[in-house]
A and B are shown apart, each in its own frame.
Chain A
Amino acid sequence: MPDILTVIIFLLGLPVSVWVWANIYAIIDETDRAVPLVRLAATGCVILAGLLLIGRTYVWPLLAAWITIMVIYVGVFYAYRHLALGVEQHTDRPVPFLTDELTRDEEEELDLPDPPQT
């Protein structure tokens, strides 16, 4: 059973991991690479300082948070594309300017008065 500090570090590690991954991606995205590199280095220093303060045992919840974010990110990517795309299409019965597409059932469903006998 993980102690409370492990859980807290894991939870705090989640948004930090989003930040870290976003900066790693910024390098892939070919944006100005110096900025994400500096940010990553700074984040690394802060994390290292924190670990030195509380003890290196807690590197594992941080790593777990980092991997969790990537798993969620990849999972959401594929889940979204396979499950969430493809909206319903609805078209009301043909626009009734002319009547040639109507079937007898549709006529009955509409319950319209009879036109004059021809």
Chain B
Amino acid sequence: MKALTWTKPLSEITLADAPLVGGKAAHLGAMLRAGFQVPAGFVITVDAFVDHFGQLTDPLVKPTPPRIQPELMAEVVNNIVEHLGHETSFAVRSSSTDEDSSQASFAGQHSTYYFVTPNRIDQAILDCWMSLWSSAAIAYRRAGWADIAAVEPVRMAVIVQQMLPATRSGVAFSRDPVDQKNTDVVIEACWGLGAALVDGRVSPDHIRVSEAGALTNYKISTKKHQVQPTSKNYTGARLQEVPKAQQHEAVLSTPEAEHIANISQQLETLFEYPQDVEWAYVDEDLYLLQSRPITTFPGQHSIQQPLVIFKPMAENFTEPLTPMAEDLFASVLPRCGALYNGRFYLYLDFLRSFTPWKVADHELAEIALLRQPETSGKLSIAKLIGLGGLLSLGFLADGINWLRTSRVSNRALLGFKQVVQKVAADPKLNAKQTLQRLIWGRHPFEPISHQMFYTNVSAGRYFILISVLNKIVTTFLPDYDTNELPKIYHSQNDMASMSMLNRIEGLTQTLRDLLASNSPTYTQEREEVLAALEGKHHTLPSQGAFTQEFEQFLDEYGHRGARELELAAPRWREAPADLLSLIYSNAKHPPAEDRTYSSHLVARDNLHQRLKPWQRRIVDNLVAKVSHYIRLRENTRHLHIMAFSATRDKLLAMEAEYLRLGLVQIPTDIFFLTFAESQDLGAGKLDPEDAQLTIRKRRRNWQRLSRQPTPHTINIQYPERASGADQTGQCASPGIVSGKARVMFSLTQGHELQPGEIIVAPYTDPAWTPLFSKAGGIVVETGSFLSHAGTVARELHLPCLVDVNGCTQSIKTGQTITVNATEGYVSLPGVEV
């Protein structure tokens, strides 16, 4: 009998034992010996594995599971008594000899089992061993590791540890793994066990601590789910909804984050290399679960051409598109740019081909970013003639459409709704064909409203017309304040976003009336609606005035929602909770007085009185044109988003079928495949296990990419403004307002906004519109004059400043700030502008 030769206590293990106990256990042992708090336990060494499996020749062929020898189980029981005497359940973790090495980590591809009771421990050990041949690990070896595995046979040790009922967990990186030059410690933290964190199933808080140990940034995410620390969660796959109040709460306090950062730096010193550390809190006690080297840093960009983000589109790409959305989006975009890390950029050389003077790269980038360039370039007559020729040819080739969009009416646009319904109901059209058909139309003889995307882009010309209008008015009236002009060319109730806002105001009033009513007729409805709004029920009552009005609203606007170009993002009709919460929050306050139309009339009359009749005719004509294109741009956006919604519906139908067949595992999996891959999966050409491996990898990469700030330029020497260095921005809607700031990172915080507060946000999109009627002003990090925040703010005559770099970090909620959207800056108390 082999007595006590197959196991080794963690406390006796050093790094030199790695060939015997695997990389993970060797690191844990070294940490324990260095005095860090690691859950107690022992390791079943690779000798046990060899004695059970013999010499394996082919690492790609799964062997028959052996029977666990009684001698091993006796040894395990002895170790449990000695090292884990008081425990009733354990964590059983794999630790293979090729894991956490300098060449590959195999992280997450081998198994860990939670809450293993003594009577199931033999099965858990066997499961850990067999995970060496999981489909994920085999696919990994197939991808280039077979030769190494053949030379050095891979073996598996198993760690048996105290099971921690962690209430909070996460990872810490002792250096920023994305930016090699940045020495910040980066921490991710979530509720419950950390099992779902590493594969991207939950959204953790994102925290930065400076090298000196001070917290510099804490970004709270909406943590809807957690891995529940219960005995039923053997594989860590079971997700539980986080109580609503806790979803927006910070997981770590500042001292806790700084403590974790300090520990990760100590581990970097111990292991002489930047470390990726897994940690967990049980109440107030911090435990370390793993430490491994961060072995890579970003290399050169995979793209060589200079790229610049096109500012009017930037707000759509504050987060990267998921692979499916990127793939389908790429198929309908013209080749004037590229999708890089899920975000759309213009080729700088494409812009240069339209510029009739010599301009430096960074100046051209300024133009694309709609900032004032220092035009030092020399005008070239040859290029000017070239540009004239190009415009003439453009007019001959596309002038018909230019003229068509200059006259298209709202009524004509509505025909697109029927087209969407027809295409959506056509079973012969897949998701890709649906998007292509709805974005670009079918043939050149269709009404212009069937080419909604083209019309939308074409309507952006109002930006140029506004410059012309400003120029003409200042020529006629040199002392006229052009900040008054937006009041004249805006204020249109036939604009989709304003109609939507009016409908939401109507819903808010209906709710106010319902809540204020004392009539017994409405008692039941009121209680049911309140239960739904306060999250006690998931749905509104089936009948009642509010429900009916809300359903009518969703019929018309249900295809809208946050991040509309992202096909994975749910629409209001699928997930109306945030919208209902906003309406409920608005209903608690009396309606704001609407003075936009009266101030529009006053501004228009003032201008008219000062102009001569012939000047008035010119100005009025231009104002009408500008108004037309503003309306056209907003309304076509409202309609072309239907194309994305219809495409999403087709993808969801496909996903539901795949879920039924077991081809994908959880909802949203489909969005982490490309369209071709999803078709192959359905046709049996792609192995579901391989697909799952791909989904898992991409989901995690996407989550982490989404936390990276969007670089404005790629391969261009362009001075990015330092975050928080100043508080200047572009004036999207003129005006000056002082008030308390409300920093909001997502719409789910919308109910926190109090009337008159100034919204400070990374960006806004149409889903934020209901908040605007309550806000005193708007400051956003991403956006331009043409972006949604600017357009709606001008409609409501609300001061709005866009492109204010780092405002969500430098401005704090509750701080009294002054937004000067006429001159373009934000004043903070005690900060000189």
Q: Which residues of A contact B (CB under 8 A)?
A: 14-15, 18-19, 21-23, 25-26, 28-32, 35, 69, 72-74, 76-78, 80-81, 84-107, 109-110, 112-118
Contact = CB atoms under 8 A, between A and B. Distances in A.
**A-B pairs, 6 with minimum CB distance:** A22-B403, A115-B293, A96-B296, A77-B444, A18-B399, A95-B704
Interface string B266-283: 000001110010000000
B400 A22 contact: yes
Given A93-B299, A118-B18, A103 B415 contact: no
A98 B404 contact: no
Nearest to A21: B400
B516 interface: no
B294 A81 contact: no
Nearest to A93: B299
Nearest to B332: A85
B617 interface: no
Interface string B105-140: 111110000000000000000000000000000001
Contacts of A92: 298-299, 301-302, 341
A109 to B, nearest CB: 7
Given A85-B335, A87-B335, A94-B697, A25 B26 contact: no
Contacts of A72: 396-397
Given A22-B400, A30-B415, A103-B143, A89 B338 contact: yes
Given A85-B334, A89-B339, A116-B293, A94 B408 contact: no
B762 interface: no
B700 interface: yes
A99 B399 contact: no
A18 B400 contact: yes
B684 interface: no
B681 interface: no
Given A30-B415, A88-B339, A107-B296, A116 B398 contact: no
A23 B630 CA distance: 22
Contacts of A26: 403-404, 407
Given A22-B399, A95-B178, A86 B330 contact: yes
Interface string B432-474: 0000000010011111110000000000000000000000000
A84 B297 CA distance: 35
B120 to A, nearest CB: 27
Most buried by A among B273, B400, B403, B412: B400
Contacts of A98: 105, 107-108, 198, 276, 700
B428 interface: no
Instruction: Tell which of B293, B411, B444, B445 has the most Cβ of chain A within 10 Å.
Output: B444
Nearest to B339: A89
A101 B200 CA distance: 15
A93 B727 CA distance: 34
Interface string B173-203: 1000110000000000000000000100000
Given A87-B339, A96-B298, A118-B101, 15 more contacts: A18-B400, A22-B399, A26-B403, A29-B412, A30-B411, A78-B444, A85-B333, A85-B440, A87-B335, A93-B298, A95-B177, A96-B296, A98-B700, A102-B104, A112-B295
A118 B448 CA distance: 66
B198 to A, nearest CB: 7
Contacts of A91: 302, 340-342
Nearest to A28: B447
Contacts of A102: 104, 295-296
Contacts of B297: 96, 110, 112
Interface string B130-157: 0000000000100111001000000000
Given A87-B330, A118-B15, A14 B396 contact: yes
Interface string B683-713: 0000000000000010011001100100000
A96 B273 contact: no
B103 interface: yes
